């Protein structure tokens, strides 16, 4: 395990990113720490906190996951997937809205659920779970509104300008939804140990994390049919994240949180995506070593 941090740093450097990582053996408590207590912008990773809150409220009788909700096109939070990309009115259950939020990282679905439970409830949940450095300050619609405001009249084209990137509030952990890699693995460990909610609700959370469709980050480091990866990505200009759990057929289970940032403003950087899987694999291999 002793050379794992050096190998992870080298992988980050080769991919052209700065990175923060925490990897945790959920059962033994062994860990790998690369800046694990540094504050990071969560972006869509914060949807995991919202999902846990939703199930906590449902378990307490505060809402019914089968409740049907109307999702009109007007006012939907923008995005390329799920409800955000749909053109017509939709009626569906809170449970299925949560599926879209997690499987395809649908921003509109996330804000539908936030409208139902509220930011305060999300922050109460993370505080109750001891995630002292995890805090939600805005909805996803509000987050993207700051991007538009900070980019200025040039709009999305301005996000290719490194000078514009430096003024984006969405990339400042002090002014946006935030956490640390260690807080995120702590949350994942609690979900996998059935500690955040009753077991049936934790199982439902794990199921949704396992249905995420994106294979290019965390899962890319574990290309094996008998290794299961469940996770949640997060993406903003220059920022690529994923948190998740890697489960081996021998029963080993490892929570991993990787948060990266690059100076390159390009939206498509395959090496920056793939290094999340590379770093996670190095960390998990080290935790599994005799």
pLDDT tens sequence across 188-244: 999 999 999 999 999 999 999 999 999 999 999 999 999 999 999 999 999 999 999
Q: Report CA 150 to chain centroid distance, whole Å.
A: 23
For residue range 130-159, what is the model confidence (pLDDT) as tens digits? Answer: 999 999 999 999 999 999 999 999 888 889
Residue reference for tokens 């504050």? 39
**Structural domains in the chain, sorted by start:** 4-45+133-288 (3.40.710.10)
Alpha helical stretches, state H, 35-168? 47-59, 94-103, 107-117, 119-128, 140-151, 162-165
Residue 182's pLDDT band (cuts 50, 70, 90): very high
Residue 1's pLDDT band (cuts 50, 70, 90): low
- Predicted local distance difference test score (pLDDT) of residue 2: 72
Q: Report CA 13 to chain centroid distance, whole Å.
A: 22
Strand 239-247, strand 253-262: pairing: antiparallel
For residue range 54-73, what is the model confidence (pLDDT) as tens digits? Answer: 999 999 999 999 999 999 99
In angstroms, the CA 212 to CA 204 distance is 13
Tokens of 135: 């805090």
- The DSSP annotation for 155-193 comes to GGGGGG-HHHHTT-GGG-TTTSSEE-HHHHHHHHHHHHT
**If you average pLDDT over every residue of the chain, what do you get?**
96
- Predicted local distance difference test score (pLDDT) of residue 154: 87
Q: How many residues does the chain have?
A: 290
């Amino acid at each position: 395990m002793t050379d794992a941090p050096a190998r992870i740093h080298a992988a980050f450097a080769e991919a052209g990113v700065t990175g923060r990582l925490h990897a945790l053996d959920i059962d033994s408590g062994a860990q790998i720490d690369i800046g694990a207590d540094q504050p990071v912008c969560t972006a869509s990773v914060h949807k995991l906190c919202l999902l846990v809150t939703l199930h906590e409220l449902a378990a307490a009788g505060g809402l019914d996951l089968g409740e049907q909700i109307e999702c009109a096109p007007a006012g939907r939070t923008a995005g390329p997937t799920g409800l955000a990309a749909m053109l017509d009115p939709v009626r569906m259950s809170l449970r299925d809205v949560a599926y879209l939020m997690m499987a395809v990282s649908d921003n509109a679905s996330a804000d539908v659920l936030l409208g139902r439970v509220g930011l305060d409830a999300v922050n109460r949940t993370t505080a109750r779970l001891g995630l002292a450095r995890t805090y939600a300050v805005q909805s996803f619609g509000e987050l993207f509104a700051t991007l538009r405001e900070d980019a200025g009249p040039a709009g999305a084209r301005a996000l290719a300008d490194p000078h514009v990137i430096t003024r984006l509030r969405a990339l400042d952990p002090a002014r946006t939804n935030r956490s640390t890699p260690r807080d995120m693995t702590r949350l994942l460990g609690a979900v996998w140990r059935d500690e955040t909610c009753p077991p049936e609700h934790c199982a439902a959370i794990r199921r949704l994390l396992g249905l995420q469709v994106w294979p290019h980050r965390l899962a890319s480091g574990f290309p094996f049919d008998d290794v299961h990866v469940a996770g949640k990505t997060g993406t903003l200009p220059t920022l690529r994240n994923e948190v998740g759990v890697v489960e081996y057929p021998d029963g080993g289970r490892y929570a991993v949180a990787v948060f990266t940032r690059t100076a390159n403003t390009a939206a498509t950087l395959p090496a920056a995506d793939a290094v999340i899987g590379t770093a996670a694999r190095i960390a998990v291999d080290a935790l599994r070593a005799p």
